[in-house]
Structures are given as structure tokens and as C-alpha cells.
Amino acid sequence: MEPSESVDLLLEFLRERDVPCPVCGYNLRNLTRSQCPECRKELVLAVGLRKPRFGWFLATITPGLFAGIAAPLLLIPLIGEMVLGGGVAPWFIWATDAFGWFSGLAALVIVRFRYPFLRQPQPTQRTWAAVAWGIHLAAFALLMVLIFA
């Protein structure tokens, strides 16, 4: 593609669109030259990727990763108590440990399939994060009720 053809395509693209200058943010609608009138930077038409945003992804996997790390640490005293003859911990402590293992595994599955997750719209990602945190907070509240009841 020749430079003049590229400039024509750029100007055609900007004719009816509100597009900010990548340097200064000036609105380039109805531009007549391939230069920003505000900052005077030369503009080119290019194809690029939108930078992925990992915030909601990290918010979604954080409680699962934390629970997945805590699960083996909780298993050590549970097994130690059985082996050393101290008896067996209550069922809900074992259930908490199992929840941690399952939760960690679920977080790893989300990490494995991160690209489909990141392609979802941000409101959907936000919903996944809220569900993950809601499940973990509810499990924690239930554990507290069972321990202190």
C-alpha cells in the first residue's frame, strides 16, 4: 500500500468517528491531515490488539488460589492429629480442607482457560469475580458459625 493510500484510509476512517489522539487525547474527528492538530504528532493507520485487562481475572482466581494454598497446610495438622493418636478432627474441618483443594483446582482451571475468560465482556468477568468471592465468603462464614456454635 502506498503512503498516500494509507493516509487516505486514515482520513476516511477518522471522518465520522470520535477517536482520541494516542499521544495527547485530542479528538481526531474530521481530520484533514495525517497529523494531530494539537500535539503535531504524525498519525498512521494500523491494526493492533486491545491490551487485555487482568484485574477481574485476578480478582476471580485470588480466593481460589488462597484456599488452594491453605488446603495442604491445613491437611498437615489434620493428618498429624490422626497419626499421633489425638483423634479425628470434626467433619467440618475436613470439609473445609476439601473445599480448599476443590477451590484451588477450580482456580487452576480458570488459569488454564484464561483466554476465553479474558474475551468475555467486563461485566461478565465482574460477575465471575463476585461469584467466586461470594462462595468463599459464605464458606468462611459457615465455618465460623460451625466453630463457634
Query: Residue 19 sits in which domain range?
Result: 1-48
Summarised one tens digit per residue, pLDDT across range 11-35 is 999 998 999 998 899 999 999 999 9
Tell whether pTM > 0.75: no
pLDDT of residue 58 exceeding 90: yes
- How far is residue 85 CA from its own chain's centroid? 44
Residue 92: exposure state from Cβ atoms within 10 A (0-12, 13-18, ≥19):
middle
Q: Considering the chain, what is the average pLDDT of its residues?
A: 92
Q: Are residues 24 and 74 in the same domain?
A: no
Q: Are residues 84 and 131 in the same domain?
A: yes
Q: Are residues 108 and 88 in the same domain?
A: yes
> Strand pairing partners for 35?
42
Confidence of residue 64 (pLDDT cuts 50, 70, 90): very high
Give me the torsion for CA of 42, 47, 52, 53, rounded to 10°.
40
Summarised one tens digit per residue, pLDDT across range 66-80 is 999 999 999 999 999
DSSP 36: -
What residue type is assigned to position 97 of the chain? D
Number of domains in the chain: 2
Q: Are residues 44 and 59 in the same domain?
A: no
Q: Are residues 142 and 74 in the same domain?
A: yes
Phi and psi angles of residue 42, each rounded to the nearest 5 degrees, phi first: -70, 135
Q: Are residues 86 and 71 in the same domain?
A: yes
Q: Are residues 32 and 4 in the same domain?
A: yes
Q: Are residues 3 and 69 in the same domain?
A: no
Dihedral class, residue 44 (left if φ above 0, else alpha if ψ from -120 to 50, else beta):
beta
Q: Are residues 38 and 61 in the same domain?
A: no
